[in-house]
Amino acid sequence: MQKEPILRVEGLRTTFTGDEGTVVAVDDVSFDVNEGEIVGLIGESGSGKSVTALAIMGLLPKSTSQVTAERIMFDGRNLARASDREMRRLRGGSIGMIFQEPMSSLNPVLKIGDQLIEPIRIHERISYRAAFDRGVELLTKVGIPSPVQRMNDYPHQLSGGMRQRVMIAIALSCSPKLLLADEPTTALDVTIQAQLLDLLLEIQAETKMAIVLITHSMGVIAECADKVVVMYSGRIAEQGPVTDIFDRPGHPYTKGLMQCTPELTGNPRRLTTIPGALPSLSALPPGCRFAPRCGLAQPACEAGRPPMIGVGQNHASACIRADELVASAAQPEGAEV
Amino acid sequence: MTHRNSKNRLRGLLVAGAMAVAAGPAYAELCGHVGGDLVLGMEAKLGTLDQHVNAANATRNVAMNIFETLMTRDENMAPILDLAASLDVSDDKLTYTFKLRPGVKFHNGKPLTSADVAASFDRYSRIGVDRSALGSVDHWETPDEATFTIILKEPQASFLESISASTVPIVIVPSEQASAEATRLEPIGTGPFQLEEFVADSHVKLKRYEGYKPNETLEGMSGFAGRKQACVDTVTFRTLAEPGARLAALETGEVDIVEDVPTLSKERLAGNKDIVQTQLKHAALWLTYPNLSEPPTDNLKVRQAIQAAMNLDEIMDAMSDGSYSLNPSFQFPGQTYYSEAGSQYYNQNDPEKAKALLEEAGYNGEPVKLLTTRDIPRLYTAAVVMSEQLKAVGINAELVVLDWPTALGMSVNETKGWNFFYTGWITVTAQGGAQSLRNLADPSNVHKPKDNKSDAEFMKEFQILSTSPDLEERKTAFAKAQERVFEQVMAIPFGVTPKNQATRANVKGYVPFFNTRVSNVWLAE
Amino acid sequence: MSSLEMNDSRSEPSFLSRFFEGRRVRRLIRHRSFMIGLWLCLFVTVIAVLAPVISPVDPNKMAIRSRFQPPSFEFLLGTDNLGRDLFSRVAWGARLSLAIGLGVVLLNAVFGVLLGALAGYFRRLDGILMRLSDALMAFPSVLLAIGIAAAMGASAMTAVISLAVVYIPRTARILRASVLQVNELEFVNAARAAGAGDFHILRRHILPNCMAPLVVQLSFVFAYAILSEAVLSFLGLGAAPTDPSWGIMISEGRSYIREAPWMTVIPGMAIAITVLGLNLLGDGLRDVLDPRVKMEH
Amino acid sequence: MLAYTLRRIAQAVPILLLVSLISFGIMQLVPGDPAAVLAGPNATPDELIKLRQTLGLDKSLLSQIMIFYGNLFQGDLGYSIILGEPVLKVVLERSPISISLALYSLVLTVILGLSIGVIAAMKHNRWIDQVAMTFALIGVSVPNFWLGLVMIVLFSVHLGWLPTGGYVPFFEDPVGWFLAATMPALSLAMMQIGLLARLTRSTMLEVLGQDYIRTARAKGASEPRVIIKHAMSNVLIPVVTVLGMILSVLLSGSVIVETIFAVPGIGALLGNAILGRDYPMIQGGLIFVAAVLLMLNIVVDVLYAWLDPRVRVQ
């Protein structure tokens, strides 16, 4: 029998209250992350993927947001019921997180060293000296040259890529069991993106930690992930093992995403973008939220929320025409082979 | 011998002083208790303590507890000896010989000698504000350490009055200070208190001078003279310019004595058994004088119209919040020269007469500029009320309000741009008849007469007043001169305000005077 | 965001209409403190404008017999030591305060813009102008105002000029900073490339885009001017002593603060209400027009 | 850093010269007569004329000023006309009083202003925020001299808690100093407390929305740690730049507060010097005060550079 997953999210829902009323940013999201697994969370900006990660971490501002979930099981604990204190102990300890903006995610007035060893000092009883040495070690590990000097530098003295390496080092500093990486490479140059992804994979291979990799790039997913969760407008559109998703996408949105990524299709002429934009969270369509942009939409799509339909081993899609899609995807490929 | 006659005359002078304090405590009882710290809340800010060049009341309040003079004025403002034990005047009235009191020492420990007196007179005649008081002096001599002789060029009946004047007194300082520049005198005197600390805008602290040699010719203190003793260890004069704060400080016991209690607060203080109020009934004479060079006040009829229009009760009431007395004289009631001559022109309050006089004068709406300052609220109020009264009879009155230095400078230096200037006299009036009219005489002429020559008839009487050896003759001359001032409207006195003071109930021996005296004041336990 | 985004400055003629375009006006109306401030300012303005109508008597009319009257139905806000009606004096004082504040604001607008634009645009003038403003700002502001006021004699005009001298360097600095910033933007370079003259560029392209911080600064200058005028008048160097100025009223009242506290308290409240209104107004303008400006003394 | 500091000091010299020229220009326009002040309100014109001669005031203003500059370059600020003491001595005696009062106000401003601002930001949009901001607004809207007068009546007269004013040297009687300085310091500080609270709140709100605060939380940092270590270190940067401004306002705002509370500081000294036309005192005192203020600005800029590493390295 399969082991318990390290993270199991069930029925996560997040709402924001603002001047214009209450909006649901994440609606009934459930997925599992197994130990040592890399799960790709993909979607357009505003699809709710970052919010999902922040909700798991308990980092959303309490004054404006409400997080509810049936369960968020992490390492045998239900984070949905955890106290602030428990959450603090987990954050930076068993769960690390990397953010999208390396430029602004480091405190400009504190030394790299101080920021790096802070989680170590918070979570472990350890002397400053030992923590400092560990920091140097971590910087070496993430590939930062002359780490001892860097410890005394300030963030503005480092390039963006270097800063993101520092962020990775911070996230790794307490050997987390789970790493939430929120678009860790988006803000960086393409070459540096690749280096960093390689670094992450290298470290993952070594430490066997689980990673939730949030991205909007199917290319990144293809390169790194074991499993994919596709989000659209606060809901999960499709999830499944990465090979299944790429070979037999069960949702028109997933298909569209893949077509946006030239290196996946290998055919620049088929580079198409999905027409239209994400619906506003305050004016959501009644049925399938993708229906207004969907080339395959039928009147039934607007009738109600489409259920998750299993289309393979651990592969499910929230599209009433999922079976059709999976079948059609398999067909031409099979025919050609 | 005539020599003896002079001595007799002086003895009379001394006795007059002694009588003034007959009711005072005997020497043994001067201090009911020795020790403690006395704190006074003062209204005015204090400048330099150089008493030779400073005419400010605030300075005298402090400095006259540090310094002493050869001669000064007694409680009734009559001349009296202080540092001098005796005075001989020669028959030709040209030589004045002072014998110094023995045993007097300066705060720096140096004994007082005639050289110090001569040096002080030297300095005063060089830079002293009232150096004209020494105008008739030929020279002075110091025949021996204890003798100081002044030789006049010509006899001057008012000479002793002049050198004893307490407006800018000729205080005696150590001879090393003779060359000290103006305002830079070191405050070393012979008085019962010596300077401990001076922080301008905040406070002056004096402490008892242990080597003080009191003047034992009197039973107690009279004016600035007489038997003085420092009963308290220290005296602090605190500047508390905010009237509310000053009174609050008295009520909370932060200060022991407050000068200038606002009229309104008297009633409230009366209900406080910890506080005793005292009053000097006639403390300040308030007046205005016209500019005789600037139209339309160059016209006598216009001036008379203004004089007729004024309701002085209203002006005094407004400026003092109701604590005043009308006073048709340039002297206080009870003073030697007090006279009501010309009082028919005082406080006429007759708008119809004023209008008629204006008609007669051909007044045609020329502006009458009332030059005043807000720095001294009473002067401001007087001008404001007066302008309303003038407007009521059809005079185009305009207020010109400047800060005090500018306003006073303008009234002294300019003959244009103003028609009336306002002032209050404290010591000027107290010094006697000649002193109070001196400002309207050549060469002072505050009223800016044409060609800087004051009215001839007035000047004739003023000459008699300042030179006649006979008191009755001088009194008559004063009355006539005053009447002339009223007739010619050379100045308009408004009235007199008292000085309302208050002390904590445990403060004993405090006697109100034109200036503050802290000798013989003691704190009951 | 700010007007910096509006690149098409050719299509304006009236910058005001751009400045108060509908979106901003709606935001201002929704802004709670702006509206409270607006109402307070309107209240004071109405009192100032209607002073001759609503005053029961001439503000300088003395009535010695009814002096020191506490507030009552007959004397709404009481009377002072000369029996003058405080309600009339406060109302006329509003006139004076607003007039002086407005005068300071106008002088600030004219000279602050002129000097700030010159310093920001013509770099050669920058050194001299900025050193001069450094020197003026190195004076303690109250002492500078006292000095100028002492030189000119107390009058409302004196108060306006001495306060303008104190605040103009500060306004000019803010404008200079905005000019420097806007000068770097694309559309200015475009205009320059198109051969537009310096003054044309300044007037048509740069200045209209520097208005947001200026308007915010001026609203605070207005508030400071009213406070400082009271300080000067309190010291006898502000408005002419015959004018019913709030500062003078406090100064006159302080001698009687125990027995007639209303003489001091009422003009003080009048100042506080007016300045509060202006501050709220300024907060609102800042929030809506220029979120970057934080605080200027 | 050292070069920067030295350059700033060098820049201050021409500014000081300008300051002295401006004050000279103003003084040349000021009418009035120091003799009148010295003589007091009861002096007669006759006494006044003589006093003018005594003081050498009959010389032209220009020659008086020439004498002043002649002395200045020998490090001598001359003698005060009114006080008869060397200007430098008086200024040196008085400035510690003002500076200690200003520093006390500054401490009050920083403690109250910062904590009100921080609390308001942390309780953003709750009632505490509303109360704090209302207080801050009232603080910036009330004239300080009026507040001083009202406080005297309240705290000295009615409650009897504090003395009405005056000054007690700190080293003689620290408690007395504290009691006497509290009301003046508070009435000086009130407006600055309001300004600082408002600035702190808005900066804090801005900083709390920054990514690095989220990073800190993601590390498991407790809320106090986030606020104190991560947020405050950034909030302090703009705060320090205004502290220089605040301190110079506190120093110059003391003219009127010192007068009301009878504090013998440099503000009251110079205010009286201007009102009394004490030309040497005005000239010397203003140069001294301007030099102190300029120095203060330099210190603040250096401090700013020290606090903000982004500036420091450049």
Number of neighbours of residue D4 by Cβ within 10 angstroms: 15
Do B53 and D47 make contact, defined as CB atoms within 8 angstroms? no
Residues D173 and D126 occupy one common structural domain: yes
Q: Measured between alpha carbons, how far is B91 from D285 in angstroms, rounded to an integer? A: 57
pTM attached to this predicted model:
0.81
Residues D265 and D119 occupy one common structural domain: yes
| Cα within 13 Å of Cα(A319), Cβ side | 29
Residues D17 and D153 occupy one common structural domain: no
Tokens 């000296």 label which residue? A129
Structural domain contains residue D269 = yes
3-class state of residue D69 by DSSP? helix
Residue A73: in which H helix or E strand, if any? strand A71-74
Do A109 and D233 make contact, defined as CB atoms within 8 angstroms? yes
Q: Is the pLDDT of residue B319 over 60?
A: yes
pLDDT of residue D44: 65
Residues of D in contact with B57 (CB under 8 A): 40-42
Ramachandran region, residue B248 (left: φ > 0; alpha: ψ -120 to 50; beta: rest): alpha
Distance to chain B for C259, nearest Cα, Å: 7
pLDDT in tens, B268-296: 888 899 999 999 889 999 999 999 999 99
Structural domain contains residue D149 = yes
CB < 8 Å from C in window 35-94 of D: none
Q: Measured between alpha carbons, how far is C4 from C22 in angstroms, rounded to an integer? A: 17
The answer to whether residues D42 and B439 touch, using CB atoms and an 8 Å cutoff, is no
**Closest of D151, D150, D167 to residue B238, by C-alpha:** D167
Helix intervals (H) in B21-70: 57-63
CB < 8 Å from D in window 35-94 of A: 54, 57, 59, 63, 88-93
Strand partners, B285: B425, B496
For chain A, the first-to-last Cα distance in angstroms comes to 35
Q: Measured between alpha carbons, how far is A119 from A86 in angstroms, rounded to an integer? A: 15
pLDDT in tens, A215-252: 888 888 888 889 999 998 888 999 999 888 888 888 88
- Cα→Cα distances B484→A61, B307, C31, Å: 91, 14, 74
What is the domain partition of chain A in residue ranges?
A: 252-337
Pairing of strands B37-42, B257-258: parallel
Structural domain contains residue C238 = yes
Do C131 and D18 make contact, defined as CB atoms within 8 angstroms? yes
**In which domain, by residue range, is C243 found?**
32-289
DSSP of C266-278, one letter per residue? HHHHHHHHHHHHH
Instruction: Say whether residue C261 is in contact with chain B using an 8 A CB cutoff.
Output: no
Q: Which residues contact B334 (CB under 8 A, 6 or more apart)?
A: B282
pLDDT of residue B7: 45
pLDDT in tens, B486-497: 999 999 999 999
Structural domain contains residue C108 = yes
Q: Is the pLDDT of residue B27 over 70?
A: no
pLDDT in tens, C155-207: 888 889 989 998 999 899 888 888 888 887 778 888 888 888 888 888 888 88
For chain B, the first-to-last Cα distance in angstroms comes to 54
Structural domain contains residue D86 = no
Q: Is the pLDDT of residue B422 over 80?
A: yes
- Cα→Cα distances A34→A3, A75, A222, B518, C216, Å: 8, 10, 18, 95, 56
Residues D46 and D115 occupy one common structural domain: no
Do C255 and B318 make contact, defined as CB atoms within 8 angstroms? no
Structural domain contains residue D81 = no
Structural domain contains residue C72 = yes
**In which domain, by residue range, is D12 found?**
2-73
3-class state of residue B88 by DSSP? strand
**Closest of D228, D202, D229, D247 to residue D110, by C-alpha:** D247
Instruction: Mark which of D40, D73, D106 sits at the end of a domain.
Output: D73
Residues D131 and D181 occupy one common structural domain: yes
> B240, B265, B266, B321: which to substitute to probe chain C, counting the most C Cβ within 10 Å?
B321
CB < 8 Å from C in window 167-196 of D: 195
Using CA coordinates, name the residue in chain B closest to D51. Answer: B129
Using CA coordinates, name the residue in chain C closest to D154. Answer: C258
DSSP of A65-116, one letter per residue? EEEE-SEEEETTEEGGG--HHHHHHHBTTTEEEE-S-HHHHS-TTS-HHHHH
Mean pLDDT of C150-157: 81
Residues D307 and D186 occupy one common structural domain: yes
Higher pLDDT, B386 or C122: B386
Q: Measured between alpha carbons, how far is B309 from B5 in angstroms, rounded to an integer? A: 53
3-class state of residue B387 by DSSP? helix
Q: What single DSSP character describes residue B171?
A: B
> D27, D29, D49, D51: which to substitute to probe chain B, counting the most B Cβ within 10 Å?
D51
**How many domains does chain D divide into?**
2
Do B249 and D156 make contact, defined as CB atoms within 8 angstroms? yes
Please report all neighbours of A, defined by 3+ CB atom pairs within 8 A.
D
Using CA coordinates, name the residue in chain D closest to B443. Answer: D46
Q: Measured between alpha carbons, how far is B230 from B232 in angstroms, rounded to an integer? A: 6
What amino acid is encoded at C221 in this protein?
V
Structural domain contains residue C82 = yes
Residues D122 and D35 occupy one common structural domain: no
Structural domain contains residue D265 = yes
Considering only CB atoms, which residues of chain C are within 8 Å of chain D? 131-132, 134-136, 138-143, 146-148, 150-153, 223, 227, 230-231, 234-235, 247, 250, 254, 257-258, 261, 264-265, 268, 271-273, 275-276, 279-280, 294-295, 297
Chain C and chain D share a number of CB contacts under 8 A equal to: 145
When pLDDT is cut at 50, 70 and 90, the band that residue C290 belongs to is low
Structural domain contains residue D216 = yes
* pLDDT means over runs of 10, chain D (314 residues): 79 81 76 72 67 73 71 77 85 87 91 91 85 90 90 84 82 87 91 89 86 88 86 84 79 79 86 81 83 82 75 55
Please report all neighbours of D, defined by 3+ CB atom pairs within 8 A.
A, B, C
Residues of B in contact with D36 (CB under 8 A): 404-405, 408-409, 412
- CATH number (domain holding residue D200): 1.10.3720.10
Structural domain contains residue C56 = yes
Residues D51 and D186 occupy one common structural domain: no
**How many domains does chain C divide into?**
1
pLDDT in tens, B212-244: 999 988 888 999 999 999 999 999 999 888 787
Structural domain contains residue C24 = no
Structural domain contains residue C10 = no
Residues of A in contact with D124 (CB under 8 A): 63
Distance to chain D for A279, nearest Cα, Å: 26
Pairing of strands B221-222, B225-226: antiparallel
Q: Is the pLDDT of residue B504 over 90?
A: yes
Strand partners, D10: none
Q: Which residues contact B50 (CB under 8 A, 6 or more apart)?
A: B180, B182, B183, B184, B185, B187, D84
Helix intervals (H) in chain C: 15-19, 22-30, 32-49, 51-54, 86-107, 113-121, 123-138, 141-152, 156-183, 186-193, 198-200, 211-234, 246-253, 262-289
Q: Which residues contact C214 (CB under 8 A, 6 or more apart)?
A: C109, C112, C113, C171, C174, C175, C178
Tokens of D19: 């300051």
Do B55 and D43 make contact, defined as CB atoms within 8 angstroms? yes
Using CA coordinates, name the residue in chain D closest to C248. Answer: D146
pLDDT in tens, B162-178: 899 888 899 999 999 98
Residues of B in contact with D93 (CB under 8 A): 199
Instruction: Say whether residue A106 is in contact with chain D using an 8 A CB cutoff.
Output: yes
- CATH number (domain holding residue C231): 1.10.3720.10
3-class state of residue B441 by DSSP? coil
Residues D102 and D158 occupy one common structural domain: yes
Average model confidence (pLDDT) across chain A = 84
Tokens 């370059």 label which residue? D73
**Closest of D141, D310, D150 to residue D233, by C-alpha:** D310
